[in-house]
Structure 1
Amino acid sequence: MLFNDPVFASRMLTLLTLSFHIIYATVGVGIPLFIMIAQWIGIKKNDNHYILMARRWARGYIITVAVGVVTGTIIGLQLSLLWPNFMELAGNIIALPLFMEVFAFFFEAIFLGIYLYTGDRFKDQKKHFLLLIPVALGAGMSAFFITTVNGFMNAPQGFDIVDGTFVNANPVLAMFNLASPTKIAHVLATAYMTSAFILATIAAFKMLRGSKHSYHKKALHMTMKIGLIFAIAAALIGDFSGKYLAEYQPEKLAAAEWHFETEGGAPLLLYGVLDENQEPKYAIKIPYALSILAFGNPSSEVIGLNEFPEEEQPPLEVHYYFDTMVTIGMAMIAISFIYWFGTRMRYAFVESNWFRWLIVLGGPLSMLAIEAGWWLAEFGRQPWILRGIMTVSEAATTSNHVGLMFVLFATLYLILGIGTIVVLRKIFINNPVENELAKIQAKQGGEQS
């Protein structure tokens, strides 16, 4: 069995953990910004709908944060258990961003707790709003620090190697590696984009279920407009990421595009299959697009995958991860732009059920794009765990019990996933928007009298 191979089992368990954690991490980074925006709009417009929006989102957010803490802790544990040789070599360098990520989380969590439990104690809502600034900053800084670790694995620097040991370690220089700027920007933009479309999914679904409350219309309108902004930002940053890969990780770009021979004016391939001779078939070919993506020039030469030793070539299935990410990203730009334009022009179709179903699909599809992007990033670095220095097989544990750990953790993630859904449903079903608004209005009426 493949799970008897410790290297394969370690890779699959890490894949499982990261794929589950990234759901909560994405929401954890993105949702605080929307809580803050909703609170600010509510204060500026003196609109209880937006104030309630912020509080309800914060209430649900804290559940996802709790699960995210569990899975994030598991990742730290698995780094030591599954990849001990990597941690022995690089642990003293990546310890700083890992520690800073924990600090950023506690910074966020403290102010989130204060915000949640003091909502009715602030007469001046602007002061209450100020509590959300460190929450959003802490969430963003968590993403910043943990992404620098991934950047370091792709572009290791900040040390010297003497007799196979890292010496003269400079963790700060290691954090600000060449890969980090585009990675951090892309992680933040896609987290905000995905969170926007998840919240839009909830609002659209409630409207499809018959709700005509203006609360949901306002939530949908706000999140779709912001989602459009960040979807466009993610696409632009993705272009910078392509140029980074062309310059510093050309083998990853070549594998993602099934670009085997070095040539100028290289086309970009979407979809398709490979025949027995590794020739792409049935692919959509966009002339010169790969050269433009790589260097901004349609005649530029793009290095082919055949220039690299076979043992250093990433797996070719990363092509499908790239296609999935790009296709969904473009689709979400289209849907959110059509919504924005349609509402401005007062077209009736934006209120139709079929279009709202497209919006409902947008949240899950955006999360799928996040997953595909991370699979592209991680599989595309193969065979390296630390590019050019240590391979995955050299870093992995030799334990024969990883397969059993996979089963146990898969069970745990299933319980956590189901538990998250059950708890969130109970929180919001037991406290419908109408009831909460009635309580707020009654309280305000009592204060005025």
Structure 2
Amino acid sequence: MINEEAVYYSRILTELTLSFHIIYATLGVGVPLMIMIAHWVGIKKNDEHYILLARRWTRGFIITVAVGVVTGTAIGLQLSLLWPNFMELAGNVIALPLFMETFAFFFEAIFLGIYLYTWDRFENQRKHLLLLIPVAIGASFSAVFITIVNAFMNAPQGFDLVNGTLVNVNPLTAMFNPAMPTKVSHVVGTAYMTSAFVLAAIAAFRLLKGSNHVYHKKALLLTMKVGFIFSVTSLIVGDLSGKYLAEYQPEKLAAAEWHFETSESAELILLGIMNKEGEVQYALRIPYALSILAHGSPTAEVIGLDQFPEDEIPPLYIHYLFNIMVGIGMLMIAVALVYIFSGYRGWYFIDSKPFRWLIVFSGPLVIIAIEAGWWLAEVGRQPWILRGIMRTHEGATTSNDVDIMLLLFCGLYIILGIGSVVILTRMFRKNPVERELAERKGDVPT
């Protein structure tokens, strides 16, 4: 028997948990790579500023890891409590990637601890840098394995369905499903991009607040370069994701692009709003672009929503989420490209307050893009929790206490969110980079 109220609150709580967790999880994947790059550049250039950059980023990273562990644990708990029917059906299939994700995290955590507590213990900094390799690998593979679970939910395979039960399970076939390559690549690439722009926003903010130290300028240049590289790669993978959707989840692509009727030479609808009569207004229409996105040909046929039953069409508001994600991604490419190009050309407007404020705002914007992307991925799969096999309401609990759980977890996330911001702010405000550099040179008492 379906409890509609329990389904509603279960979806709200899961969405809240994932939305909060994804912030810390994304930084947890991307920041280790940024630390490793900064440390490597510092060794290569024999530049203490980059070495210190790696050191300070590592201290802040520890806080995000701690919060990510709590929220990740909450997700695991909620899978069993809120979606017991789904776990009963698919638990033996997703158990392997979930275990591998846990293993990858512990692999990362062990070497992170060693790296953090062995500063100044190595005469050769290259040996210390080697400790970061397993940290970065573990962080990235944590994202890989947990994203494989999500990919399986979108493209389930590797089993036989007999009397409503998954039998003859082949975990490797299930893991390497058609959704895995593009989804994993997009998640990991955007995590690197997001982390780079968040760190760039922090550096730009410190410059705006009067700290004109070269340390922050080097941090800004490094993060903008990395941000540009991975924003471009995310754009390329995004294009491949569109082609995947056209072949395997055409209803999701059609809903995201407001493509209502199957047609050749399909146009791409950007922006716009939908009125009460279901008409699209104020949209930017690009001829042939959807056919190119979906199949790489301007005359290709693209399946529309008219080919699907009404109860299998995802919510049409995912079009707005798609626009937010793509729009912010394109803006980040433009901002980073202008900054890098202008720096080489000697155009100093990039040091102006307006442009630095634009970089500061890029930090929150990329977080919004990440959120929009995950909402697009999850809402776009509706009404399925396991596409084509189990609908969302069939996988949910029938408990009447989910609303109480929602309130309790809201309180937890508020405490974690405020606490992490306060700790990080105080950590770096009480130990500014100018003071730390002076202490390392012995100019002030330690």
Per the normalisation by structure 1, the TM-score is 0.97
**Equivalent residue of 2:148, what SS?**
helix
Tell me if 1:291 matches 2:291: yes
Letter in 1 for 2:191: A
One-letter code of the match for 1:75?
A: I
User: Which residue of 2 is the match for residue 133 of structure 1?
Assistant: 133
Aligned to 2:319: 319
SS at match of 1:281: strand
* 1:436 to partner: Cα distance: 1.2
More deviation, 431-440/247-256: 431-440
- Find the counterpart in structure 2 of residue 106 from structure 1: 106
Aligned counterpart, 1:394? 394
Q: What is the distance in 2 between the residues matched to 1:352 and 1:275?
A: 41
- What does the per-residue CA deviation read over 1:176-224, in whole Å, with 9 as the maximum and x for residues that have no partner? 1110000000001100000000000000000000111000000000000
Deviation at 1:441, TM superposition (A): 2.1
> What is the Cα deviation at residue 48 of structure 1?
0.6
1:430 aligns with 2:427: no
Q: Contact 1:350 / 1:356 at 8 angstroms: preserved in 2?
A: yes
Contact 1:84 1:397 (8 Å CA) reproduced: yes
Answer whether contact 1:196 1:227 (CA < 8 A) is retained. yes
Alignment of 1:337-376 (within 5 A): 337-376=337-376
User: In structure 2, how many angstroms separate the alpha carbons of the residues matched to 1:287 and 1:346?
Assistant: 39
Residue 152 of structure 1 aligns to which amino acid in structure 2? Answer: F
CA distance in 2 between partners of 1:347 and 1:27 (Å): 31
Kindly indicate whether residue 308 of structure 2 is the aligned counterpart of residue 308 of structure 1. yes
Q: Map Cα deviations across residues 279-304 of structure 1 (whole Å, 9 max, x no partner).
A: 21111111111111101111111111
Question: How far apart, in 2, do the equivalents of 1:386 and 1:128 lie?
Answer: 44
Residue in 2 that maps onto 1:379? 379
Superposition RMSD in Å: 1.0
Instruction: Please state whether the residue corresponding to 1:283 is helix, strand or coil.
Output: strand
- Matching residue of 2:163: 163
Q: In structure 2, what is the equivalent of residue 446 of structure 1?
A: none
Q: How does 1:154-303 map to 2 (within 5 A)?
A: 154-303=154-303
Offset of residue 125 of structure 1: 0.6
Corresponding residue of 2:50:
50
**Is the CA contact 1:4–1:403 (under 8 Å) kept in the aligned structure 2?**
no
| 3-state secondary structure, aligned to 1:282 | strand
Equivalences for residues 67-86 of structure 1 within 5 A: 67-86=67-86
Distance (whole Å) between structure 2 residues aligned to residue 307 and residue 242 of structure 1 = 18
The Cα shift of 1:4 comes to 7.1
- Paired residue type of 1:163: N
The letter of the residue matching 1:297 is S
Distance in 1 (CA, whole Å) between partners of 2:200 and 2:321 is 25
What one-letter code is carried by the residue in structure 2 that aligns with 1:424? Answer: L
* 1:148 counterpart letter in structure 2: I
**CA shift for structure 1 position 442:** 2.7
Deviation at 1:142, TM superposition (A): 0.3
Counting matched residue pairs gives 441
Distance 1:65 1:82 in 2: 25
Deviation at 1:28, TM superposition (A): 0.3
Q: Does 1:413 align with 2:398?
A: no
SS of residue in 2 equivalent to 1:385: strand
In structure 2, distance between residues paired with 1:392 and 1:194? 30
Counterpart residue type for residue 365 of structure 2: L
Shift of 1:276: 3.2
Q: CA deviation at 1:253?
A: 0.3
Q: SS in structure 2 opposite 1:149?
A: helix
SS in 2 for 1:272: strand
Larger mean CA deviation between 402-411 and 51-60 belongs to 402-411
State percent identity of aligned pairs. Answer: 68
Structure 2 match to 1:447: none
Separation (CA, whole Å) in 2 of partners of 1:96 and 1:130? 29
Query: Runs of 5+ in structure 2 lacking a partner?
Result: none
TM score, norm. by length of structure 2: 0.98
1:114-153 matched pairs, under 5 angstroms? 114-153=114-153
